[in-house]
Amino acid sequence: MREIGLDELKHLARGAAILGTGGGGDPYIGRLVAEQALREYGPVLAAELHEVPDDALVAGIGMIGAPTVMIEKLPAGEEAVTAFLTLQREIGRPITHVLPIEVGGMNSLAPFPVAASLGLPVLDADCMGRAFPMVQMVVCTLDGVLARPLAIADEKGNSIVLDVRDNHWAERLARSATIGMGCTALMSSFPMSGKQARDITIPGTLTLASRLGRLVEEVRRRHVDPCQAIAEFLGGRVLFTGKVVDVVRANDPGFAKGEAWLEGFAAHDGANCRLAFQNEHLVASCDGKVVASVPDLICVLDATGEPVPAERLRYGQRVTVVGAPCHPRWRTPEGLALVGPSAFGYSHAYTPLGA
């Protein structure tokens, strides 16, 4: 296992926010909470999947709700620990490893206060390889691992446990509870054995995020275009460069849904781009043609390569839109049924980026 301290945490936060495709919770807020925990308790150990014993008990941590709300309704910092301990009491035996449910924004950092304060390792893996807005949108669903039991905690000290029949019901009931808690909360769920974690989770995503975050700083020092470097690192391409001319968003219900319109400049002068998002960017259309779509990654970056969360898009920003391929499991028929365009109500067929 290796230590993750304050220096790597800043790279991890940036890289995770890029991989989070605009969602996963505000990376700045998540980083502040995680840094506070590391300053108080020290570095966190990150374990690779091959280091996890078969009989380990692993549980996921993540934010649920509308990221726009968390900008004003700041977390208290103890929600993830409360949810985790609530889940542990419900299971009735110690949980040995903490797992990020998704690699994205705040959610890659959400396990760190738990791991730091309780002295547990974080797995260098996650259940999405990016960020998706709904509880059932994880590789666990493809492999029959249930979000059962599921514990939710808010910043006021409230916590509840849900016993659900499947992961779609977990989304429905957890979303309703989260709305009652003020549209944001932290959850702990998807308990699994070490063997299950090795077999089904997506490995190395914290390391990937750290490398990506560090890359941004390195290319800046060399005066290389960071957006192009990010696209090449992820095996993707630059889709559009332009200025945000309009944004429409709403919280509906317990999500941050909306659209943003961009007018192109430089290589895309005279063109336009529309981004549709539900917490995360789902579809990018240029001049009326879909150029990237879920489950592939649509990353919005400023000129320095910093990720721009969907909830922070605003008029006048100059941004670059990068598309990158998703994890191969999402391109299978089962994966597309769960997280493809039709899962979000879109009628267009999925065309893999780069095809």
Residue pair 124/48 in contact by the 8 Å Cβ criterion: yes
Beta bridge partners of 150: 162
247 closest CA partner among 256, 238, 239 = 256
* Per-residue pLDDT tens digits for 73-106: 888 889 999 999 999 999 999 999 999 999 988 8
Domain with CATH 3.40.1610.10 in the chain: 2-205
Classified as helix, coil or strand, 62 is: strand
pLDDT attached to residue 25: 81
Region of residue 275 (left: phi > 0; alpha: psi -120 to 50; beta: else): beta
* pLDDT band at residue 192 using 50, 70 and 90 as cut-offs: very high
Domain with CATH 2.40.390.10 in the chain: 224-344
Classified as helix, coil or strand, 193 is: strand
CA-CA distance, 347 to 181, in Å (whole number)?
A: 33
CA-CA distance, 198 to 221, in Å (whole number)?
A: 37
For the cut 80, the answer to whether the pLDDT of residue 227 exceeds it is yes
Class of the domain covering 224-344:
mainly beta
Average pLDDT value over all residues in the chain: 94
| Mean local confidence (pLDDT), 23-33 | 87
For 78, 330, 351, the CA distances from 155, given in Å and listed in that order, are 7, 33, 41
* Per-residue pLDDT tens digits for 329-348: 999 999 999 999 999 999 99
Retrieve residue 170's tokens.
């977990």
pTM of the model: 0.94
pLDDT attached to residue 70: 77
Which CATH superfamily groups domain 2-205? CV3147-like domain (3.40.1610.10)
The residue ranking higher by pLDDT, 72 or 160, is 160
* Per-residue pLDDT tens digits for 167-178: 999 999 999 999
